[in-house]
Structure 1
């Protein structure tokens, strides 16, 4: 079997997290597409979509070196028809229930992704579940837009894509200086609320949706203060977390794209090219905008000298195994992929889009996914239960909204049950 290339550091880490962590880090993107669809036509168009993207036709293969060291590599593996399913629902779709099932059902061994379609009167629900090994925000955006264009228009405005090369030992745009080490444990580490095996945990999601008026006011306020939405919400998350735990310092983790560090294919091909930075955040009486600027400075310092890890796959597996047996969280995390308000014409057919990540390994206490669609901000707090308690996540959300001064004018997201 020909190995296309070895997995990079981040890809190997995500592979082991999924393998050892009961589906941990698998990603689910869901969307509701308005229109009348034909099941036969859908099947044909799905085949066209899969054929256009190399990342949808690979799998992870395990092999050993001459001295017995394990190596993970990508191999070419055509998609199996069973990876795509189509169901008919004559009445209404319980989106929250389906999403919960998708995020908590591990991908079948050897499948890097699956796509579940539910055909309802006047609408199509799609649930795209994939391994984080082949997914980041950039890839998600391009694959989703390609899928929607082919399903609705039977055309694709983008070019066929190739698999991301390995980033290990590739030159970086920035100069190399000593990087800030990410601590294994910090003083504010929180013990698991309930001790549990990974196979006893489920990923839960607490949603909060803001209306367009309130969303616009937040976006405008951030622009006037020259801070980004991610900076604003990261600072608010750190302050809320510290307040709920009664501590003065929080180690806030931020998942960001690594693509800006590279040229050519490592910036534009599809796959996973991200890393996580750790920022110490002090709880202070400063205004939120001042805290957001402190976060910007801390994130900038943490990014200095970043380079991909050179650890062997065996060493990465050992680190992941330790994470899976830990009894404390290292802190909260916020995704920093950029808040994209989907502006392509294809999204006029789409009622909603949301993405979340399985957190069963419980290394982060809670992960905040911030998104914007059709001018509406939405927050998805993802966490492993019972390791993290439902009540604490709700308290963090309540406190975050209080910090923003928005609690009275925002509302929890209602269940997405769409009557047909």
Structure 2
């Protein structure tokens, strides 16, 4: 196959994680459409879709110890699945199945599953891909093109060319905020990692997630809460996640990771839309010393800004990246927790967004680089949230307890758009987590083997988005 370009450091990390950690970082986006799509109709649209977009025609090849994007063939029959919604299955159940059905290494980098509910008049689409080929921005544009092919768009358009210089982008360092960055106190030492409850063989691991969506009214109340306190939405949800996790685990400090888009950091911005993953992850410790919610949010803000401004692209040889990922695969703990936000999805879906009735993106986290990840998006003005975690690596009671406490925090914010915030409960370690009625984790797909405890020595893993 014709080689296009070498994978960047971030992309190679994702590709090696997918291969060595059995699907870790694989991404699935669920999009529900208000039309029952037939197999022939969808198949024709998918073939046109793949012809238009380089992202859908790519493969990953290893040459001389490095990973390269290559121009692959059109979609094969295994990349499109079509059938009715199985009896007794919810859209979230199918999302969990697709998330845990790992794309084979060395083969196709994406898959689309369609599950039609004739009685409800909807089709649920599940777009699963290797994280090396896309990020939140390019995925939104990719699904927009699919909607165009299904419901009205230019037909038989010429294939878009591959961009060949995306591995030689000119990085533009971020400028500090107008108020400047505070000098952060040095951490007393490495923040303890999050030990795995069970260290199972990689082929027996999977991912589960707990949905915790807000209604439109609740979302508007949270936005008002943020405006009146000078907080961004990301600062609010990151702090709510950190406080909830601290209460659930008895911690007063946690390593916090924030996924960041790099699409405005490169001079050649026009070359960033066709293929690849252009994100970084800012990592900073966050102390939760019993202050107010706003004080914790300000600490998160300052730590995140400093870490983000200090980030620079790496140019490690791919054999070093592979070795780092192999070390992460041997770990029996995760370094911290993470938030990722794809933002408002309506605009990225284009003119046919009105046909979309449901939307969620979740990343497979088999337990290597983060203990818990909060996936955040905004659709039709409402916040969609899902808390994902590796199974059986992370104790489900930690995820369920964090999700319940997170929902409590969101309810407090919605009910206290004005006035003082309640002080957090202290000490963090004294909290008994109540039963999580109404919150259920969506389990990993069936077929994984029984987990067993392991005894490998602890290795501090690296992290990628």
TM-score (norm 2): 0.80
Change (3 A) 1:104 1:138: same
Work out whether 1:258 is the aligned partner of 2:262.
yes
Instruction: Select 1:115's aligned residue among 107, 112, 124.
Output: 112
Taking the aligned partners of 1:225 and 1:165, their CA distance within structure 2 comes to 45
Give the superposition deviation at 1:350: 1.3
- Contact 1:113–1:129 (CA under 8 A) maintained in structure 2: yes
- Contact 1:21–1:324 (CA under 8 A) maintained in structure 2: yes
**Range with bigger deviation, 249-258 or 31-40:** 31-40
Change (3 A) 1:345 1:5: closer
Gapped regions of structure 2 (runs ≥ 5) = 177-183, 416-435, 443-465
**Superposed, which structure 2 residues align to 1:10-409 within 5 Å?**
10-64=10-64, 70-82=65-77, 83-89=79-85, 94-109=90-105, 110-121=107-118, 122-155=121-154, 163=162, 168-174=167-173, 186-263=190-267, 264-342=269-347, 344-406=350-412
- Contact 1:9–1:311 (CA under 8 A) maintained in structure 2: yes
Gapped regions of structure 1 (runs ≥ 5) = 65-69
Q: Per-residue displacement from partner, 1:249-303 (whole Å, max 9, x unpaired)?
A: 1110111111111023344444211111101111033332332232222111112
- Contact 2:225–2:413 (CA under 8 A) maintained in structure 1: no
Taking the aligned partners of 2:174 and 2:250, their CA distance within structure 1 comes to 39
3-state DSSP of counterpart to 2:371: strand
Give the superposition deviation at 1:137: 0.4
- Contact 2:47–2:75 (CA under 8 A) maintained in structure 1: no
Taking the aligned partners of 2:38 and 2:248, their CA distance within structure 1 comes to 50
Please tell me the root mean square deviation across aligned C-alpha atoms, in Å.
2.9
Taking the aligned partners of 1:112 and 1:386, their CA distance within structure 2 comes to 26
**Superposed, which structure 2 residues align to 1:406-417 within 5 Å?**
406=412, 412=438
3-state DSSP of counterpart to 1:107: coil
3-state DSSP of counterpart to 1:354: strand
Name the counterpart of 1:67: none
Taking the aligned partners of 1:155 and 1:93, their CA distance within structure 2 comes to 35
Q: Per-residue displacement from partner, 1:192-214 (whole Å, max 9, x unpaired)?
A: 11121211111001111222111
Change (3 A) 1:415 1:148: farther
Taking the aligned partners of 1:41 and 1:76, their CA distance within structure 2 comes to 26
- Contact 1:33–1:124 (CA under 8 A) maintained in structure 2: yes
